[in-house]
Structure formats: structure tokens, C-alpha cells
A and B are shown apart, each in its own frame.
Chain A
Amino acid sequence: MEANGNRVMVIFAHPVPESFSSALHEGVVSTLTGQGWHVDDCDLYAENFQPILTTEERRGYHDQDTNQSPVQTYVDRLHAANALVFVFPVWNFGYPAILKGFFDRVFLPGVSFKLVDGHVRPALTHIQKVSVVTTYGGTRLRAIMCADPPRRLMTRPVRYVLGGARMKYLALYDMNRATHEKRASFLQRVTREMERF
């Protein structure tokens, strides 16, 4: 499948439909649909995505002819999209394992990057824009003191394999103490960004 028109893949990772992350996810999907985007809603928990890279997959990791076959549908969906939105909570200063496994298993050699004369080059260059919508339990200061691993992962290597696509990183910190107003205003901000997406 080739990317055509305005197709966005929303990659979402949270187990509970009543959670604030789910509210953000719904906000993102409905706003983008309203804006005329064709949304491919990839809810990793709902789709029962398996995040464990298996022994066999590890053995065949670098074989670009066969390494995609265990996750072919996800690779096809990535190829069909020309924009991405990630929606997830930050747990223990990283992605939820189910999302980490999506990178481990789907962002393979030949899919997300290719080797040209021994150098790594981006391979998802058809993706034109990306938004990251996330929530942290800790404060902004705490995230900075830990060098903010999820932000760095998104804004550096992920953005690199997407060919330097335009990226917005939208984060709500200190979730555990966030008031209703704070959450509502973050949801509004996310909706506004999606209207402009």
C-alpha cells in the first residue's frame, strides 16, 4: 500500500477506556475525522498487540526479505499513512511496554531505516507530520532531571527515521495532582492542535 492523500495512523496505548489517555485518544480521533482525515485508529491494547520480540524474530531481525512477515499488517498500515499521532501515558519514564514493543517489532530494518553504504538512513520518509500526545505522572522538573527519555526518543531517533517530519510534542505533567481544569485545558490544547494538524 502506498500513502495517499490525508491518511493518519493514530497509535494509542492505554488499557482503560475510562482513562484520561482514552479521552485524549477519542479527542484526537474525532477531531482529525472532523477535519477530513482518513483515520487508521491503531489501539494497541484493543487489538491485543503482542509486544514481545520473539527468539525467531531476533534471529531473523536483519533479514529484510522476511523480517516483516510476523507484523506485516502493521507495516502495511504504517506505509499507507502519511501522518502519525502517538497517544500514550509515560510510565516509569518510558513508553508503556506495549508501545515499546511496537517499536521493537514493527520499526524494523527495511521498514523504519535502511542501510546505505553501511550508514543508517531513514525509510519512513513518506510521513509528513507527527504529533505526540502524552501525560507524565511526575513534574516537568522531575522529567528534566531524568533527561526526559520519552521526549528524546520521539524528537530524535523516531523523528529521524520519519525523515525529519514536522513534530509536535504535547505533554501534560504532574498528572496525579492535575485538577479537572488542568486536564480540560490540556484536552482543549490537543483538540486545537489536531484542528490545525
Chain B
Amino acid sequence: MKALIVFCHPKPGSFNHAVLKTVSSELQEAGAEYRVADLYADGFTPILTRQEWECYEDTKENTCAIGEQVDNVLWCDTLIFVYPTWWFGPPAMLKGWLDRVLVPGVAFSMPTEDNPTFAKGLTHIKRIGLFTTCGASWLLTRYIGAPGKRTILRGVRALCHPHVKTAFAAHYKMDFSTPQSRAGHLARVQAKMRRLIGKPARERQSITQEQTA
């Protein structure tokens, strides 16, 4: 299993960093290979430029500026997002990652005259995890229609493997969080991660351990 964690939070020591730690230690424990794209720490630029727009449909040119990010997406079979929800969606930083990295030739093919759908390009991705924190309550988020969650768990998911497994956990009303609620959320993230990774990875790992022992 090869996982890419796309992580987005500006403040070191934030609760999202604790979520990232939980996610990565679960992957480690399962013996999975994983990479972290820490967008703020890496100084990712979220603005899709004029030049990129002009070669957007040219699949040879459109990833020149961000080849490494694209390599990570093509390498992984599991895509995990960890980010705070701002204005009911991912931060501009992460939205820009979607804009610039998930381009034609990587994530989809453009529709044609005969075929109105976008052909899937991420069929190698079999698992998607989304772990976020929201200032709003569950009820308000539901009323608004959870646009951030749906951008990824419907929009991006539609480009992935047809039987893609998903995991989602959100800590709502983050501004009123308590040590207990935060610990509870981390436990939930851990449980969701275990379900997402599934047994096979663990069993395979224990088999290899037995073999090497």
C-alpha cells in the first residue's frame, strides 16, 4: 500500500498536526509506504497561472511546474487529505493543489463531442481518506451541504477506482473543543484509518514478519 497524505495547515502544533500524526502512525504500523505533501511547509503555490491555463489541456506541458506533486499522485493507491475546513471548504492552499495537480492527463481526460463525461484518470487510487476540523456544527454543515467534503468525496472520488473505499471524520464546533472531544476525535480518526487500510495490509505485514523471523 502506498499512501499520499496531502496536509494543509499553517500553524505548527495545531490540532490538524495531531490528526496527521495519528494518520501517519496508523500507516506506519500497517507497514504501508507513505509520503506527506505538507503544502504550507513546502511553500506550495496555489495560484493556477496564466501559463498553466494556456497549456491546461496539453498533457505533456501541463504538469511542468509541479511534476513532483503529480508523481506523488500517480505513485499512490491511497489518497488522504488532512485539513481545516474554512468557509465550508478546503483552504485556498488545498483548493489550489486540486486546481493545479489534478489536471487533464493526470486525473481525467477532457470530454469530447461524443462523450460528455470526463474519463477517469485516477483509477489506481483505491482508497480516499478525508479528515477535517470545522468551526460550524454538524447540523449547520449538513444544511450548507458540506461543500468541502463533497468537492473531494464526490468530485475527486468520481475520478478514482469504481470501488474506491472512503473514510471521513470531522471534528465539528472546533472553537468549543475540549481535551476530551479532541482525544475522542483522534480515536475516531484511528478507527476510520484502520477500517480504510483494512485487514489485508496488516495480515500481509504479519506474514512477512513471520517469514523474516
Q: Is the CB of A15 within 8 A of B11?
A: no
Count, A-B residue pairs, CB within 8 A: 144
Binary flags per residue of A94-108, CB closer than 8 Å to B gives 1, else 0: 111110110111010
Q: Is the CB of B147 within 8 A of A97?
A: no
Could you say which interface size class chain A belongs to?
35 or more
In the docked arrangement, what's the CA distance between A142 and B159, Å? 12
Q: Is the CB of A91 within 8 A of B155?
A: no
The residues of A with any CB-CB pair to B shorter than 8 Å are 15-16, 19, 45, 51-55, 57-59, 62, 91-98, 100-101, 103-105, 107, 137-139, 142, 145-150, 152-153, 156-157, 174, 176-177
Binary flags per residue of B44-76, CB closer than 8 Å to A gives 1, else 0: 001111101110000000000000000000000
Give the interface centre of B10, B12, B110, B146 by most chain A CB atoms within 10 Å.
Answer: B10
Q: Which of A59, A97, A176 contacts B110 (CB 8 A)?
A: A176
Q: Which of A58, A103, A149, A152 contacts B11 (CB 8 A)?
A: A58
27 A-B interface contacts by CB (under 8 A): A16-B53, A91-B98, A92-B156, A93-B155, A94-B89, A94-B147, A97-B92, A97-B99, A100-B89, A100-B91, A101-B46, A101-B92, A101-B93, A104-B86, A104-B92, A146-B151, A147-B147, A147-B154, A148-B145, A149-B89, A149-B151, A149-B155, A150-B147, A153-B88, A153-B147, A156-B143, A174-B111
Chain A residues positioned under 8 Å from B48 (CB to CB): 15, 91, 96-97
The residues of B with any CB-CB pair to A shorter than 8 Å are 10-12, 40, 46-50, 52-54, 86-93, 95-96, 98-99, 102, 110-113, 116-118, 143-148, 150-151, 154-156, 158, 175
